[in-house]
């Protein structure tokens, strides 16, 4: 089987626009920064190999990678003040709005208008909508993810578990059996970026985290989400793993189940010890449901933030931005990670890929559930994220047992940080 990247290269090269920066032999250097080097290092290595062949006159300088999406946003906000922005930045889908509101991210519409047939290059409306504000496209999605379950099938078998859980109650029952074998039951990604798993529990009930520009955790769905976390963490005896330690414990065969983003499928398959079998499955349902009603769309998008007045540099930055989000770039994303390629051109090339890589198919099956990954409105978006993070950690460490009390405190604290009026 040809790799996705080779397939994409064959099908997309003709559609990519070199632009004047490459056409006239003028040498141009642009700067780029992205998050999660552990996830995307191999992805960009594949992409850059082909980009450098096609655009030898454009040099891409990679800045230090962002630790996560919060770090990416904070870094860009600082660099904007210091007038040290890169030309292109990769930002979490839920972090785009603040850069648009502050006038840091620039509309891509002037560039798109110069493309002969932008839709044919694979940029279909459903994905562009993830990065559209006031009817203007400000980003091109690079990757899309969903929360899923990862299972060590050898541990499950040793614990006498023959069926992968489809509800959180079944997960707790599985944890109890796994613990009897001397292994840890699960690592559940409460500490993932952007309160994503809290939003996943809300969306599982078809309840958005933000409703009519207001924090929506004050009702029954919010209390259900908090109680579900408490029940899971207590029932599974989950340790307060850091993200790195939790993933390492799972990869090394010390933990039976991990609930995390599909983005890590590639790295788990590469890094896990060889003595056990990995299987992924859809995110479990809550309140007795076998599946969530909806899930937040994770992932990131490429945004144009260049302050350069050099038109050749700006065109080179657009050429790079468009290239990495093209069918070719999206194919590399699918091949090296567990993300779903948001570019239709790649999706049309990968029919046999998922048949050969079923662990990466799980996220694709959940695409119909995708809903908004909310950014909190106003200036305090990162502060609100931290407040919710801290509340979840209190549940993990057993600092609080009364979820109604925690809900009341959390709603009060977040509302104090939300825009007034």
> For 14-34, what is each residue's pLDDT tens digit?
333 334 444 556 899 999 999
What pLDDT does 347 receive? 72
> For 307-362, what is each residue's pLDDT tens digit?
999 999 999 999 999 999 998 898 899 989 999 888 888 877 776 888 899 999 99
What pLDDT does 121 receive? 73
Long-range contacts of 25-28 (CB under 8 A, 24+ apart): 25/57, 26/57, 26/312, 27/57, 27/59, 28/57, 28/58, 28/59, 28/310, 28/312, 28/313, 28/316
Q: Are 237 and 179 in the same domain?
A: yes
Q: What is the greatest pairwise CA distance in the chain?
A: 68
Q: Are 176 and 277 in the same domain?
A: yes
The C-alpha atoms of residue 256 and residue 45 are separated, in whole angstroms, by 32
The C-alpha atoms of residue 236 and residue 3 are separated, in whole angstroms, by 40
Q: Are 19 and 117 in the same domain?
A: yes
Q: Are 76 and 54 in the same domain?
A: yes
CB 90 within 8 A of CB 302: yes
State which residues of the chain have pLDDT below 70. 1-25, 120, 124, 351, 421
What pLDDT does 152 receive? 98
Domain coverage including residue 168: 147-296+376-417
Q: Are 259 and 309 in the same domain?
A: no
Q: Are 78 and 174 in the same domain?
A: no
> Which CATH number belongs to the domain containing residue 266 in this structure?
3.40.190.10
Q: Report the C-alpha dihedral over residues 216, 417, 79, 92, rounded to 10 degrees.
A: -10
Phi (first) and psi of residue 297, to 5 degrees: -80, 115
Domain total of the chain: 2
List C-alpha distances in Å: 70 to 190, 311, 385, 386: 15, 31, 9, 10
**Tokens, residue 206:** 């078809």
Q: Are 273 and 329 in the same domain?
A: no
Q: Are 280 and 337 in the same domain?
A: no
pTM here is: 0.87
What pLDDT does 12 receive? 35
Q: Are 65 and 108 in the same domain?
A: yes
**Tokens, residue 43:** 């992805």
What pLDDT does 24 receive? 58
Q: Are 406 and 390 in the same domain?
A: yes
Q: Are 100 and 196 in the same domain?
A: no
Q: Are 52 and 95 in the same domain?
A: yes
What pLDDT does 120 receive? 66
What pLDDT does 129 receive? 85
Q: Report the C-alpha dihedral over residues 259, 238, 236, 208, rounded to 10 degrees.
A: -50
Q: Helix, strand, or coil here: 89?
A: strand
Q: Which residue has the tokens 């930055």?
A: 317
What pLDDT does 22 receive? 47
């Amino acid at each position: 089987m040809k790799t996705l990247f080779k397939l994409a290269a064959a099908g997309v090269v003709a559609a990519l626009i070199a632009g004047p920066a490459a056409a006239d032999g003028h040498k141009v250097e642009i700067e780029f920064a992205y998050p999660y080097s552990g996830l995307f290092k191999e992805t960009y290595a594949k992409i850059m190999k082909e980009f450098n062949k096609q655009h030898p006159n454009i040099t891409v300088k990679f800045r230090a990678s962002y630790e996560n999406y919060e770090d990416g946003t904070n870094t860009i906000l600082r660099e904007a003040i210091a007038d040290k922005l890169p030309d292109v930045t990769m930002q979490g889908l839920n972090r785009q709005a603040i850069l648009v509101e502050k006038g840091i991210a620039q509309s891509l519409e002037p560039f798109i208008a110069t493309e002969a047939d932008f839709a044919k290059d694979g940029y279909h409306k459903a994905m562009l909508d993830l990065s559209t504000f006031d009817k203007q496209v400000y980003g091109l999605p690079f990757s899309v993810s969903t929360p899923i379950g990862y299972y060590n099938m050898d541990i499950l078998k040793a614990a006498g578990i023959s069926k992968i859980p489809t509800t959180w109650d079944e997960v707790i029952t599985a944890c109890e059996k796994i613990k009897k074998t001397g292994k840890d039951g699960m690592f559940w990604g409460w500490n993932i970026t952007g309160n994503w798993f809290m939003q996943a529990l809300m969306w599982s009930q078809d309840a958005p985290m933000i409703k009519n520009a207001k924090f929506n955790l004050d009702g029954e769905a919010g209390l259900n989400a908090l109680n579900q976390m408490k029940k899971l963490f207590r029932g599974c005896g989950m340790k307060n793993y850091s993200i790195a330690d939790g993933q390492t414990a799972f990869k090394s065969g010390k933990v039976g189940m991990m609930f995390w983003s599909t983005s890590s499928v590639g790295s788990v398959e590469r890094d896990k010890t060889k003595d056990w079998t990995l299987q992924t499955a859809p995110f479990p349902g809550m309140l007795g449901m076998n599946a969530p009603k909806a899930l937040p769309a994770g992932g990131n998008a490429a945004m144009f933030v260049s302050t350069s007045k050099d038109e050749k540099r700006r065109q080179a930055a657009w050429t790079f931005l468009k290239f990495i989000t093209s069918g070719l770039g999206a194919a590399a994303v699918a091949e090296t990670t567990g993300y779903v390629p948001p570019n239709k051109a790649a999706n049309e090339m990968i029919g046999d890929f998922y048949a050969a890589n079923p662990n990466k198919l799980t996220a694709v099956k959940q695409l119909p559930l995708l809903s908004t990954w909310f950014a909190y409105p106003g200036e305090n978006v990162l502060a609100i994220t931290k407040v919710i993070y801290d509340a979840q950690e209190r549940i993990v460490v057993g600092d609080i047992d009364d979820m109604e009390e925690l809900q009341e405190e959390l709603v009060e604290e977040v509302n104090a940080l939300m825009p007034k009026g």
